[in-house]
Structure 1
Amino acid sequence: MFEHKNKLVDGFTKKYGLDRLIYFETYQYINDAIKREKNMKKWKRQWKIDLIEEENPTWKDLSKDWTYFQ
């Protein structure tokens, strides 16, 4: 998050100015997380928006609650 917020690494998030964490999932095993991410990339945009709004209807930056960013 620090790198994204401070635009330290070139890439998609820097190019498009994306610096808010609006949704995340946690997994015990990295392979499960990768599988989920690859699956979600196939989803329609509206399905992703619906998922976000179900958990975070105001699109609040969830990283603001993490003490090391304040």
Structure 2
Amino acid sequence: MADRKIDMVVNEDGDVAYLSLPDHPGKGSPGVVAKQISLHSIIKEYKGPEIYLDFDKNGVLIGMEFLLEQAD
């Protein structure tokens, strides 16, 4: 299990990040995310950046996406 790791990629502007968990098959794997749930939909009182939980077809959490609000 030494090759299992957590990886984070942040875009150039620093306002979007993706955290890949050990069960994520890797970037470029089409159809890997079977279900995506917004943290706001689970915790109504949540205040903070948009966070999306990504699950595979077996219901395993494989990644998290973080989006900061854009200033108009």
- Higher relative contact order, structure no. (Cα contacts within 8 Å, ≥ 6 residues apart): 1
Global fold match (TM > 0.5): no
Q: 1 or 2, which has the higher helix percentage?
A: 1
Q: Provide the TM-score with structure 2 as the length reference.
A: 0.21
Structure in which a larger fraction of residues adopt strand: 2
Q: TM-score, normalised by structure 1?
A: 0.21
